[in-house]
Amino acid sequence: MAEAKIIDGKAFAAGLRARVAEGVAALKGSHGVTPGLAVVLVGEDPASQVYVRSKEKALADLGMNSFDHHMPADLGEAELLALIDRLNADPAVHGILVQLPLPRHIDTARVLARIVPEKDADGFHVVNAGLLATGGAGAIVPCTPLGSLLLLRDTLGSDLKGKRALVLGRSNIVGKPMAQLLLQQDCTVTVAHSRTQDLPGECRRADILVAAVGRPEMVRGDWIKPGAVVIDVGINRIPHPTEPGKTRLVGDVAYDEAVKVAGAITPVPGGVGPMTIACLMLNTLAAACRAAG
């Protein structure tokens, strides 16, 4: 069988970012409004610092304002809630992103609930999750599932209808919203997780497999139905197999095996990752457009 089509998330995201930049310029021209995203980072988690820096760079590249709030790891929850209250009230801030994970002394749910839903650029607020689960109208959709869906639609078009989709992972950030989005596309959706019996068997039935478990190369080639579309959300850093002291990025799918079986697959890096940031830009622009009326 021929090797899978490689789904080029990097190229798709570049096109999406270019369209967002056009929207930003149009909003400036028509309403004199520059979309702005507040990025809140608490502590010095190295991975979070990398993500936050790339979000801030993307904002600048697209002509949007970035309001950076890099806070010490010992910031109290009350101070963080007070910062969110200020950002909620600031008309120049159209979106608020609180980078996760937060330090353990802070109640993440309480913090996310404090963001006004209209400014919840990540789509993590229970109001947005509820809107998505009840039909989608008006919901701000979490960026990684949204980006994954855009890649799936680009690959399969209207062929999503009636397909068997398996979402591996049940997080609030990816798995659950991904399942809701696929349901909206008329897929038959299964959500599998660490306690699922016969995970390989469940995967093998799927025409669409979205892996979001954070376990390096867990999904093997023989778990994949021949011709299936595989979206690998995982970004795992593992020791380099041949160069001591170095690391390398791998997904949740054993790519070299899967590429021989799947019909199409996202690489890691260069698949879903760039789509997440592009969708964050899109969500911020959309929030600014709604605020501008």
Catalytic position from the list 120, 122, 232, 252: 122
Q: What is the dihedral of CA 89, 107, 64, 50, to 10 degrees?
A: 160
Residue 56 or 122 with smaller CB distance to ligand GUN: 122
Tell me if 282 contacts ligand GUN by CB under 6 A.
no
Catalytic position from the list 55, 119, 176, 225: 55
Residue 173 or 182 with smaller CB distance to ligand GUN: 173
CB 150 within 8 A of CB 7: no
In order of 56, 107, 210, 220, the CA distances from 81 in angstroms are: 22, 10, 34, 43
Q: Which of 37, 106, 173, 182 binds ligand GUN (CB under 6 A)?
A: 173
Tell me if 232 contacts ligand GUN by CB under 6 A.
no
Element (H, E) at 66: strand 65-71
Tell me if 283 contacts ligand GUN by CB under 6 A.
no
Strand order in the sheet with 264-265: 5-6, 264-265, 229-232, 208-211, 164-168, 188-192
- Stretch of 95-103, 155-163, 202-210, 244-252 contacting ligand GUN, by CB under 6 A: 95-103
122 is catalytic: yes
Tell me if 113 contacts ligand GUN by CB under 6 A.
no
Ligand-binding annotation for 245, yes or no, is: no
Tell me if 291 contacts ligand GUN by CB under 6 A.
no
The single residue listed with the structure tokens 């699922």 is 196
How many beta carbons lie within 10 A of that of residue 21, not counting itself?
A: 16
Minimum separation from the CB atom of position 254 to ligand GUN (A): 23
The pair of three-digit structure tokens given for residue 231, joined into one six-digit string: 């979206």
Residue 172 or 196 with smaller CB distance to ligand GUN: 172
Tell me if 217 contacts ligand GUN by CB under 6 A.
no
The pair of three-digit structure tokens given for residue 25, joined into one six-digit string: 């310029």
Ligand-binding annotation for 235, yes or no, is: yes
Residue ranges of the alpha helices (H) in the chain? 9-31, 46-61, 77-89, 108-114, 126-133, 143-156, 175-184, 199-204, 255-258, 272-292
- Site track 68-87 with ligand GUN (rule: CB under 6 A), x = hit: --------------------
Residue 172 or 190 with smaller CB distance to ligand GUN: 172
Give the SS3 label for residue 106.
Answer: coil
- Site track 124-163 with ligand GUN (rule: CB under 6 A), x = hit: -------------------xx-------------------
55 is catalytic: yes
CA distance 210 to 151: 11
Residues that bind ligand GUN (CB under 6 A): 97-100, 122, 143-144, 173
Tell me the binding residues for NADP(+): 169-171, 235
Catalytically annotated residues = 55, 99, 122
